[in-house]
Structure 1
């Protein structure tokens, strides 16, 4: 047996994880396909129902293949996915790839900003709570983490909007930017913030950041509590480890022991959780984008669900599923590099 294929080898582990992409994505695609067709109604009736006679509606269903047997629709759907052809939306005949291209940048900007905010706030608070266990600071931080995790993201968004509406009356509450910014900044990457930076337009960058702050804070709070709790638990465990006691016995200052020994080693499980929270971020982005009229894929997804647009919903959720699976597998590989024990 070669070293590359031996149990516990990194190449073998990577291949195993990559092969898991196929059944995981297939299961999600099949589930979405069935749920969209089990639900009452159809995209033709949702978009033009009541404005055309039943015979005309039936003709449209026939042209779109909605009257075909379910197994035939399923095969056509999977065949398109395998060739990376997600088709066009039923309601406005827009290519799914164009929707992803035009709106994916806004969702990417929001999710990355929310993740950075959650890490910047959650990790230090978790460290403080673990370092000062059973103190008022620990209790307050734990309550904060529970509340932020348990609060519905759309409700939190509305509260944030009301707060800034009363305190900062001129602060932008909706949209990704003012219309003048979208009109003047040349579209190059379909990521408005990045396009503004490339153009060297400082006013546009500030405008986008101001619009980004409220939805990013709302979505970041959704997973901030998870990082607080996980960091606290791991810091408590590492503070009781033998190597930490040995560092203390050598006379190393407590602050350095906590920072260099306990906190650093407590971050290994947190790296794993970061990948798993991508799915939570994307699901939270759907409601956050709707609350703040953020022009991302989540906002588009809700619109197409209301219109019962099978093709659009399946295409967007397929993208979400692939992103979540790829990031989860990437995190698994990173952890395998850090800790060889997970390969067995």
Structure 2
């Protein structure tokens, strides 16, 4: 089989396997939202509206139908990327994703960049100088970063860098004047300001982004540090590294060109697996820093018992994680041909 043919077959198999995975995820989300007694409308608006109006809203949303009919309607809507309309504010999940998804995307991408920029070099240093004092400090830092709850780290960061030192803003995505003067082009504030040439506004957003992105990035940074450390250590003990040293290749080049490059292959795979961790951490981080993303809206709907909003956002998060996993599998197959067989 040709190289292109094997890659095409691998991609088709991964897509075929993704279908039952998505179906199971959608089914679990649907059943979890139906465990609570009563309909989502009565759970959200019960006691606030008369029973007749609640019954009218339930009929309009289809909650008076049999459960199996609701299930198939839910699956059909999910196939068409229609995740319903919230009960509390009557907003479609699609418009909610468009308006608030940019903030969550900005935070998660910035957190991933922070994790890569600091995690990869620290993992390389720890792998190069295994069982030394720098290695011990880096390993402790990685464990603490992974184990510490994001909301706790966020509160400490706000206390130190925002309140005591007054270096960075404590919350929000930007100052009120920046948000008021920004023109909406992409619903991603940082890009919208750059399109308008408002570089003062761009710097304002970056300042507001540093603390929440670093807080969320610490959650993933520990994984990257430990992964690179282990793989660099294994690579440095390989025969091809000993052969390179025997040829007179400098130790710096052996580490950077041989050990480190081979250690990056599993990092690509793990990056996809960390998407769910980043999205889960974003919920707590956004709440801590009053970041106007999907995580903040999800907690608002949870507090108001708006199960339609919760169901729609969780479904969207699940589909995003599955899609990212598919992309990472394809990229991994391009980097390492052995994965295809």
TM-score (norm 2): 0.95
Determine if the alignment matches structure 1 residue 226 to structure 2 residue 220.
no
For residues 138-162 of structure 1, give each alpha carbon's deviation from its aligned partner in whole angstroms, at most 9, with x where no partner exists.
Answer: 0000000000001111111111111
Match of 2:106 in 1: 109
CA-CA distance at 1:313 after TM superposition: 2.0
Aligned to 2:9: 12
Question: How far apart are the structure 2 equivalents of 1:319 and 1:223?
Answer: 22
Comparing 67-76 and 92-101, the one that deviates more: 67-76
Given candidates 271, 274, 278, the residue that maps to 2:275 is 278
Quote the offset at 1:172 in angstroms. Answer: 1.6
- Change over 3 Å in CA distance of 1:229–1:5 after alignment to 2: closer
- 125, 128, 136: which one aligns with 1:128: 125
1:38 and 1:200 map into 2 onto residues whose CA distance is 50
Name 1:312's counterpart in structure 2: 309
Deviations 1:208-243 (A, max 9, x none): 111111110110000100000000000000000001
**Secondary structure of residue in 2 paired with 1:304:** helix
Residue 178 of structure 2 is aligned to residue 175 of structure 1? no
Equivalent residue pairs, number: 341
Tell me by how many angstroms 1:17 deviates.
Answer: 0.7
CA offsets, 1:27-47, max 9 Å, x none? Answer: 111111111111356543444
Following TM superposition, by how much is the alpha carbon of 1:21 offset from its aligned partner in structure 2, in angstroms? 2.1
Q: 1:152 to 1:71 in 2, by over 3 A?
A: same
- Unaligned regions of 5+ residues in structure 2, if any? none
CA deviations on 1:41-97 (whole Å, 9 max, x unpaired) are 654344433333444434433333223221121111112112233232122211211
Contact 2:224 2:267 in 1 (8 A): yes
C-alpha distance in 1, partners of 2:293/2:73?
27
2:8, 2:167 → 1: CA distance? 55
User: Any residues of structure 2 matched to 1:233-312 within 5 Å, and which?
Assistant: 233-312=230-309
My pick for the range that moved more, 233-242 or 283-292, is 283-292
Which stretch has the larger CA shift, 215-224 or 169-178?
Answer: 169-178
1:203 aligns with 200
Q: How far apart in 1 are the matches of 2:122 and 2:36? A: 44
Gapped regions of structure 1 (runs ≥ 5): none
Q: Which runs of 4+ in 1 moved over 6 A?
A: none
1:74-93 aligned within 5 A: 74-93=71-90
2:90 and 2:159 map into 1 onto residues whose CA distance is 38
Cα distance in 1 for residues equivalent to 2:200 and 2:38: 46
Instruction: State the shift of 1:301 in Å.
Output: 1.1
2: CA distance between counterparts of 1:41 and 1:287? 28
Contact 1:176-1:295 within 8 A present in 2 as well: yes
Q: Among residues 166, 172, 182, which one is paired with 2:163 in the alignment?
A: 166
Matched residue SS, 1:259? helix
TM-score (norm 1): 0.94
Cα RMSD after superposing both structures? 1.8
SS of residue matched to 2:34: helix
Report which stretch shifted further, 227-236 or 37-46: 37-46
- Distance in 2, matches of 1:69 and 1:195, equals 45
C-alpha distance 46-162 of structure 1, shift in aligned 2 (>3 A): farther
In structure 1, C-alpha distance between the alignment counterparts of 2:227 and 2:4, rounded to whole Å: 34
Q: Do the aligned partners of 1:4 and 1:12 also contact (CA within 8 Å) in 2? A: no
